[in-house]
Structure 1
C-alpha cells in the first residue's frame, strides 16, 4: 500500500530551497531537510565565536520557510524570529532591545500567549546572561539568538531547540542538522590557494573566487584549515534510512549541498537505502561553480557520497537521476547530454522554468515532479 505522503529528504542549506520547501509544505508534511551548520559569516559567525557552536542561520531560515504563516499566532512568532537588530546602532541601545525582549515588553511580543511569551523571553534572558559583553548584536538575527540560547540550555545539543521552534511556528516539515559536531569548511582552489571559512569562497561577504574550487573538506576553524573528522548526526542518518526519495537540490553547490552530505556516515547510509536519489543542478550563477560543467558537478557529488567507503559504494547506490530543463534552463555551462550518458544514471529532462521564474527553477513546477518521482518504486 502506497504512502499518502512520501518521505522525501533534501540535503541543503541557505535560501535557494526555501521556495520549494514552502511549496511542498502545502501538500506534504513528511518532507525533511538535512541542513549544513558550517557557515562562518554574518550573524552566525558572531554566535559561533562567543559560544563555540555550530552555525544555526540556515536551520532558522528553513524552519521559517516551513512555518504555518496562515495561522496569525504563528505568523507573529515568525515575524519576531525573522527580525534582525539594526545594523547601525550602538551596543547599549541594541542590548536594550534584547532586554525588552527578555522581560516580554518589546512590541514584537504583543499578541503572544503567556506560554509563548515566557518561552521566548526566557531564551532572550538566558542569552543575555551567557553572552555578557562578548557578543556584538549589530544586525543579529533574533531567530539565531533564540536557537543559540536553546542550544546552551540543552547542554550544547541543537536538536531540542529545533524541535521546540518547529512546534511554536507549526513547521510543516522536518529539519535536522547534518552533524552535532562543530566544524568549518575549507576549500582548495585550482591555483593552489587554500581558503578556510565558508565566507571566504561563497562570494557573499568577500569578492568571488577567481580560480575554480578543486576540493572541499571540513576543518576545525577559520584559522586552522587542517581536516578533522565530523560525523553525521544520528537523527539525520535516521531520516536517510527511512527516506522514500533523497534529493541533492539546487543551491550553493559546495557550501550548501555538498557540505550537508560531507559528515561521515551519511554517504554510507544513503548507499544502503534503495530509494531513488536525484540531483538537481543549479540554474543562474553560482560563484562556487566557476569552471564546473554539470558533468564535473556529478563527479564531485559522487566523490563526496562515496567517501565513507569508495571501494564498496558504487555510483548507482547513491545517485540514480539528474533532473534538468535543457530547453529553458539557464545553466552556467550548457548540459552535455551525450557526456552525461557515461554515468550510470538516468537524465530526466522536464520543464522546470516558467515565464514568472526569471530563468530559474519554478518551485510550482518542480514540486509535483518530485512527488511523482518519489512514488516510483525502484
Structure 2
C-alpha cells in the first residue's frame, strides 16, 4: 500500500533533535524516533531505582517535541506533562503537590476535561501508592511520573504508556523505545579508565571526561560495568523494516545516537532494509566527542552498527552517506574532509547552518533535505 508520507526513522535520544522533530511533525506524521532508555542521572535515576525500569525522560522529551498544541486543552496537557518540580523544593511540600494532582485539584488540572483529568489523576494516585515514601519529587518531571506509573499499571510493559501519552498530546509521529531492558551504559576511555553510568560521562552532571571515549557497551548497573546484552525492541525493529530513510542525526554521540543502536538485533535490522541511511555529524560542542573528528565518528558508528555480525554486515548496508556543511559548519575536532573522502561513504555537502541558529544546524534547512532524500530509492 502506498504511503501518504515517506517513513523516516531517527535514532535519537536527547534535546538536539527537538527543533527538527517539531519542524518535521508539521509536514510528515510518518516520522519515527527510536529512543535510548539508559539515562542514569537526575530524576530518572530516582524512578529507575524505585521501579527497576528503563529511563523514560528522553521518550517524554521527544513526545513533547512532536505534540500538537494547536488546541487549548492539548497545550494545557503538554504544559502539565512538561512541568518539572524545583530541585530545591521541600519533599513534604512537593509530595503534597503530587497528592493534589492525584485528587484532580491541582491548578494545572483546572482547564482539563473530566476524562483527561481522571486519566492523569488516577496515574498520579497509582504512582503515590507504589512509590510510598521512597520518592523525593525534587527536580522530577510530571511526564516522567505519568510514564512510570503507566509502566507499572501495564505490568512493566513500556509500549502501552507511550501510546497513551502519545494520544494525550496528539503526537504527530511515532516514538518507540530502543530496548525494553533496564540496562545501563559503560564506556572505556583511551587512558584505560572505565566509567559505568551515562550521567558520569556526558559532561552534564559532572565534569567532562578527561580522555577520549574509546568504546561503549551495555551493562546491568552503574555499580557493575561488566558487559550485559540488551535486546532491541520488536516494535523498534518493525519501524526499521518499513523505513524509507534511516537517519543517525546530530545529538550526544555516545549517550544518544550510539546508545539507541547498541541493543542486540538493531544493526542486523538496519542492514536488511535497502533504503538510504544518513549520518549527520554534530556541529558545536559535545563533551562526548573529545578527540573525535568526523571520520572517527563514522568509524565508531560503523563499529556499533556491524556489531551483531561483523563478518556479514557490510558498511554500505548500514551507512549510505554523510550529510555535512563544509562551508559553514564548525566541526568540534575537525571535518577532516581529505580523510573523509577516502572512507568510501558518499558525501552530501549542503547548506545546513544559518545565523538564526548560532552555528548549529537549522531545522528549516535540514527538514526539506531529508524529505527529498526519503523520496529517493538510492543516493
Distance in 2 of aligned mates of 1:178 and 1:273? 17
- Per the alignment, residue 264 of structure 2 pairs with 264
SS state at 1:356 partner: helix
Per-residue CA deviation, residues 144-173 of structure 1 (Å, 9 max, x unaligned), is: 000000000000011000000100111000
Local SS of the residue matching 1:10: strand
Q: Which residue matches 1:134?
A: 134
Equivalent residue, structure 1, for 2:112: 112
Q: How does 1:1-378 map to 2 (within 5 A)?
A: 3-378=3-378
Query: 1:338: Cα distance to partner?
Result: 2.4
Give TM-score, length-normalised by structure 1.
Answer: 0.99
- 1:257-277 Cα shifts (integer Å, max 9, x gaps): 000011000100000000000
Asked whether the 8 Å contact 1:315–1:344 carries over to 2, the reply is no
Listed one character per residue, the Cα deviations across residues 309-330 of structure 1 (whole Å, up to 9, x for unaligned) are: 0000000000001000001011
Aligned length: 378
- Residue 336 of structure 1, CA deviation: 2.1
- How far apart are the structure 2 equivalents of 1:375 and 1:71? 31
Runs (4+) of structure 1 moved beyond 6 Å? none
SS at match of 2:356: coil
Kept in 1, the 8 Å contact 2:85–2:137? The answer is yes
Uncovered stretches (5+) of structure 2, i.e. residues with no partner: none
Distance 2:62 2:210 in 1: 30
CA contact (8 A) 2:290 2:333 kept: no
Please give the TM-score of this superposition, normalised by the length of structure 2.
0.99
Q: Deviations over 1:85-135 (max 9, x none)?
A: 122222111110000000000000011111100000000000000000111
- Secondary structure at the counterpart of residue 333 of structure 1: coil
RMSD: 0.9
Per-residue Cα deviation, 1:4-57 (whole angstroms, up to 9, x for no partner): 310000001010000000000000000000000000001111100110100000
- C-alpha contact 2:250 2:280 (8 A) present in aligned 1: yes
| Distance (Å, rounded) in 1 between the aligned partners of 2:2 and 2:369 | 17
Task: Output the CA distance in 1 between the equivalents of 2:71 and 2:217.
Answer: 41
| 8 A contact 1:320–1:344 mirrored in 2 | no
- Quote how far apart the aligned CAs of 1:2 are: 6.5
Q: What is the rounded CA distance, in whole Å, between the counterparts of 2:114 and 2:94 in structure 1?
A: 24
